[in-house]
Amino acid sequence: MTYAPALTSLGKPLDTRSESFGFLRSSADALGNPSELHERMKTDGYLYLPKLLLTNEVAAARLSILNELAGEGLLDENFPLQQAESKADTKTYFRPDLARDNQALQRLLYRTDGPMMNFFAGFLGGPIRHFDFTWLRCVAPGMGTPPHADVVYMGRGTKQLYTAWTPLSDIDLAMGGLMVLEGSHHNERLRNGYGARDVDSYCENDPQDEARTAIGLNGWLSTDPVGLQKGMQGRWLTAQYQLGDVLIFNIYLVHGALDNRCSRFRISADSRYQLASEPIDERWVGKDPPGHGAAGKRGRIC
């Protein structure tokens, strides 16, 4: 059985037979039941929550970003602004600069009494803390994100850290949203090998170690999502995302993205949440988080 035709990631056609590809389980029915949500997170490594957010707040955040893209001349002016048609040959992808001081986006993701923060307070059972850095993606037509797990980029604090992937529009299979590799968070070999890496750690006793100066050294697990799926034997799972949906997952779950095979921008935000009482990764907090820059480097003896 084939779920969807001609889906690609990194230019490679995915195997969309039912044994290799599927759709995310909704946990909307478990909202308000923390024990069931924790059981599903433990089992699946993710919680797909359709319509968790207020659609008017998502739409406001989207409009603020579209106005910025239009101001930069990246949108095709022959189409309505809200259609987000990309101008030919645009290569825009990662735009965290558009998240800084963006009141509509900050309200959507971090408002104290908003649906997102309320969810995490209930899910984690106490006061929560979010990262101050927001990963905003404005993906022009082209290839998606290679498979990876978040732990290699933000694993210096608590391991009970959760990512919320928020689509800022409806995202169908042609536009290509986020996909997760089923059961990958249970793979102990992956956890103890790749999952123990830190992309900003370098060998103090190796003057030639490129990690000393590299900004955001590649932490991809693979550039072959098809081969990775076959090797790990889980299915790639995704959804036909709609405005207001959120996908939440732990830092060991392998994920990537389908290619954007339409003519419009795919806009989404990644935000991170944890208990305020637990240690936090210093790279992603503060007024101007150091991220993968020089201040975020950490030496070790190899």
Q: Which residues pair with 265 in a beta bridge?
A: none
Q: Where does the pLDDT of residue 300 fall: very low under 50, low under 70, confident under 90, or very high at 90 and above?
A: confident
Condensed to tens digits (0 to 9), the pLDDT of residues 12-55 reads 999 999 999 999 999 999 999 999 999 999 999 999 999 999 99
Q: How far is CA 279 from CA 25, 109, 128, 148, 153, in A?
A: 31, 21, 12, 23, 15
User: Distance (Å, rounded) from C-alpha 248 to C-alpha 291?
Assistant: 22
Residue-level pLDDT at 216: 54
- 135 inside domain: yes
Tokens of 215: 């900004």
Q: How far is CA 139 from CA 74, 85, 104, 221, in A?
A: 11, 11, 20, 21
Q: Looking at residue 6, what is its pLDDT?
A: 82
Residue 288: CB partners within 8 Å, gap ≥ 6? none
> Which stretches does DSSP call E strand in 45-159?
46-49, 128-130, 135-139
Quick one: tokens of 52? 């968790």
CATH at residue 181: 2.60.120.620
Is residue 186 one of the residues assigned to a domain?
yes
Q: Has residue 2 been placed in a domain?
A: no
pLDDT band at 194 (very low <50, low <70, confident <90, very high): very high
Residue type, 19: E
- The answer to whether the CB of 108 falls within 8 A of the CB of 57 is yes
In-domain check, residue 1: no
Q: Does residue 182 register a pLDDT over 70? A: yes
Is the residue at 237 inside a domain? yes
Residue 86 has pLDDT above 50, yes or no: yes
Residue 3: inside a domain, yes or no?
no
Is residue 134 within 8 A of residue 269, CB to CB? The reply is yes
Mean pLDDT rounded to a whole number for the chain = 94
**Residue by residue, what is the 3-state secondary structure of 35-89?**
HHHHHHHHHHCEEEECCCCCHHHHHHHHHHHHHHHHHCCCECCCCCHHHCEECCC
Q: Is residue 67 part of a domain?
A: yes
Residues contacting residue 190 through CB under 8 Å, at least 6 positions apart: 149, 184, 221, 232, 252, 254
Domain, as residue range, for 17: 8-300
- In this structure, of 80-84, 193-197, 208-212, 253-257, the range with the lowest mean pLDDT score is 208-212
Which of 2-16, 86-100, 206-220, 272-286 is predicted with the least confidence, judged by mean pLDDT? 206-220
Judge contact between 225 and 236, C-beta under 8 A.
yes
Question: Rounded distance, CA 163 to CA 46, Å?
Answer: 9
Backbone φ and ψ for 109, nearest 5 degrees, come out as -90, -30
Domain count for the chain? 1
DSSP codes, 185-246: GG-HHHHHTGGG--TTEEETT-TT-GGGT-SS----S-S-HHHHHHHH-PPEEE--B-TT-E
* Structure tokens belonging to residue 9: 């990631």
What pLDDT is attached to residue 155?
Answer: 97
Is residue 255 one of the residues assigned to a domain?
yes
Report the length, in residues, of the chain.
302
Which pair of tokens denotes residue 69?
């893209």
Query: pLDDT at position 206, please?
Result: 78
